[in-house]
Amino acid sequence: MCYGEDMIIGIGIDIIEIARVERAVERRRRLLERLFTPQEVAYCMDRGRPGASLAARFAAKEAVRKACSSAIPGEVIPWLHIEIYRDGGRPTVKLLGNTALKAERNGIREVLVSLSHSREYACASALVLGDKG
């Protein structure tokens, strides 16, 4: 399937209970440093319910990891090599470090992401675009 000039080469989805993330962060504050970039933490802590924003970003990172697994086989992307940020209001994915280099080498041109949350759950989907050649 094509999206503009690029092919869809991966898709991922994830859902998580917001309360689970809130409890985990409350018990182990250092978890924030292991899972999220400083920019992500700053953004989430400035929200009305930080746990909901953190959970949505965690779900997005997991969805990105799943979506990229078909394009970068055998690679488990480190949490801190995926950054979810706002670009003009929409969530955007930035791959960092060696993951960005491997993604480029494996034909990944863009990773699209969508986030959502309700009172209890956060979910995200990711779509990897590029050429599989």
User: Percent of the chain beyond pLDDT 70?
Assistant: 95
3-state SS, residue 33: helix
Q: Where are the beta strands (DSSP E) in 35-106?
A: 82-87, 90-95
CA distance 123 to 49: 15
Mean pLDDT value across residues 33-56: 96
| Confidence tier at 73 by pLDDT (50, 70, 90) | confident
* Domains contained in the chain, CATH given: 2-130 (3.90.470.20)
Round the average pLDDT of the chain to a whole number and report it.
93
The reported pLDDT for the residue numbered 3 is 56
| Confidence tier at 74 by pLDDT (50, 70, 90) | confident
Are 107 and 132 in contact by the 8 Å Cβ rule? The answer is yes
- pLDDT (tens digit, 9 = 90+) per residue, 96-118? 999 999 999 999 999 999 999 99
Whether pTM > 0.85 for this model: the answer is yes
Are 97 and 73 in contact by the 8 Å Cβ rule? The answer is no
The reported pLDDT for the residue numbered 75 is 82
- Select from 131, 51, 132, 128 the least CA-distant residue to 95: 128
